[in-house]
């Protein structure tokens, strides 16, 4: 496997491979990680590090994968709390009372595409397989957030909604927030039809930088740039936004890609915790 990135590091601990942002690694008050396809116990089309419970994999395998990832990253498995994603924009504040929800406890609510907390030892978990992971760290307010931005969540400005929730719950100043846009399908591989492209054009941002028409009536969309502009519109300074240069489809041997596998796949996750 060939891996190269200017913004992220591939870590391998006890045969478990996971990605971290170079810049976020410098923040001692947090732990973060993006799982890969490597180091788990799942079999068949889920081989080997599948983090999704709803793809048809054995539940005991997914739980074991989480335990292995947590051990590698240095996060307590008991501290995990997961989103309940359905491509919308609801942002939930979670506390220690929600530990285990969506992982080793049943979901207690649906339609949660972003999580925020200001409690230590509460590890936020979100899922991906081409969609855009968004992480938020406010060192001043000692708060964090994690969001899942598919194309619907992106045009719904879930990144801005997460910032708004952090302002509301923790009095976060967007100027203090550090954001990271994780591995996702990039503009080289993300083709959509005209109705979807139109939704991006209606964002009233500089769509010349993220909507690119093709001769066949299709469009290439840059989800990374779209979310970057949305975060900036929410008040996060451009210098506080770190961007992954890993396209999930181009690196489908390392990370899960829905489009590369035709939907026969597992899923990766992002984990973020106040240490």
Measure the CA dihedral 8/178/135/34, to 10°. Answer: 20
Please compute the mean of the pLDDT values over residues 151-173 and round it to a whole number: 98
pLDDT digits (tens, 9 = 90+) for 227-275: 999 999 999 999 999 999 999 999 999 999 999 999 999 999 999 999 9
pLDDT digits (tens, 9 = 90+) for 95-133: 999 999 999 999 999 999 999 999 999 999 999 999 999
What pLDDT is recorded for position 268? 98
Take residue 9 and report the two structure tokens written for it: 């590091």
Question: Are the C-beta atoms of residues 274 and 121 closer than 8 Å to each other?
Answer: yes
What pLDDT is recorded for position 273? 98
Confidence bin at 154 (pLDDT 50/70/90): very high
Please compute the mean of the pLDDT values over residues 183-206 and round it to a whole number: 98
DSSP 149-196: E-HHHHHTTHHHHHHHHHHHHH---GGG-EEEE-SB--TTT-EE-HHH
Question: Are the C-beta atoms of residues 162 and 173 closer than 8 Å to each other?
Answer: no
What pLDDT is recorded for position 184? 98
Question: Are the C-beta atoms of residues 153 and 126 closer than 8 Å to each other?
Answer: no
C-alpha span between 247 and 18 (Å, rounded) = 15
Please compute the mean of the pLDDT values over residues 26-53 and round it to a whole number: 98
pTM, two decimal places: 0.98
Please compute the mean of the pLDDT values over residues 63-89 and round it to a whole number: 97
Query: Can you name the CATH fold of 8-185+240-274?
Result: 3.60.140
Question: Are the C-beta atoms of residues 54 and 85 closer than 8 Å to each other?
Answer: no
Question: Are the C-beta atoms of residues 87 and 150 closer than 8 Å to each other?
Answer: yes
Give the percent of the chain with pLDDT over 90. 99
CB atoms within 10 A of CB 231: 26
Domain definitions of the chain by residue range: 8-185+240-274
Closest CA to 80 of 121, 19, 29, 42: 121
Question: Are the C-beta atoms of residues 177 and 30 closer than 8 Å to each other?
Answer: no
Closest CA to 225 of 177, 178, 181, 270: 181
What pLDDT is recorded for position 3? 79
Mean pLDDT of the chain, nearest integer? 97
Confidence bin at 1 (pLDDT 50/70/90): low
Question: Does the structure show a pLDDT above 70 at 168?
Answer: yes
């Amino acid at each position: 496997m060939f891996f190269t990135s200017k913004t992220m590091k591939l870590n391998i601990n006890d045969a478990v491979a996971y990605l971290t942002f170079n810049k976020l690694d410098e923040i001692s008050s947090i732990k973060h990680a993006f799982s890969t396809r490597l180091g788990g116990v799942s079999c068949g089309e889920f081989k080997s590090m599948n983090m999704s419970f709803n793809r048809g994999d054995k539940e005991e395998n997914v739980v074991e994968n989480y335990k292995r990832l947590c051990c590698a990253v240095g996060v307590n498995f008991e501290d995990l709390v997961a989103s309940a994603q359905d491509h919308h924009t609801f942002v939930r504040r979670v506390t220690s009372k929600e530990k285990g929800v969506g992982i080793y406890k049943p979901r207690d609510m649906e339609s949660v595409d972003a999580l925020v907390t200001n409690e230590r030892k509460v590890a936020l978990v979100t899922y991906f397989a081409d969609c855009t992971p968004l992480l938020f760290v406010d060192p001043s307010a000692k708060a964090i957030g994690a969001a899942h931005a598919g194309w619907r969540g992106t045009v719904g400005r879930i990144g801005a909604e997460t910032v708004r929730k952090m302002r509301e719950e923790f009095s976060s100043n967007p100027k203090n927030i550090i954001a990271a846009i994780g591995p996702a399908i990039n503009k080289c591989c993300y083709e959509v039809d005209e109705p979807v492209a139109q939704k991006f054009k209606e964002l009233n941002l500089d769509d010349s930088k993220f909507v690119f028409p093709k001769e066949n009536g299709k469009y290439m969309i840059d989800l990374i740039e779209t979310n970057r502009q949305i975060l900036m519109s929410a008040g996060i300074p451009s210098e506080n936004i770190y961007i992954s240069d890993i396209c999930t489809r181009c690196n489908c041997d390392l990370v899960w890609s829905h489009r590369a596998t035709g939907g026969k796949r597992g899923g990766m996750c992002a984990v973020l915790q106040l240490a």
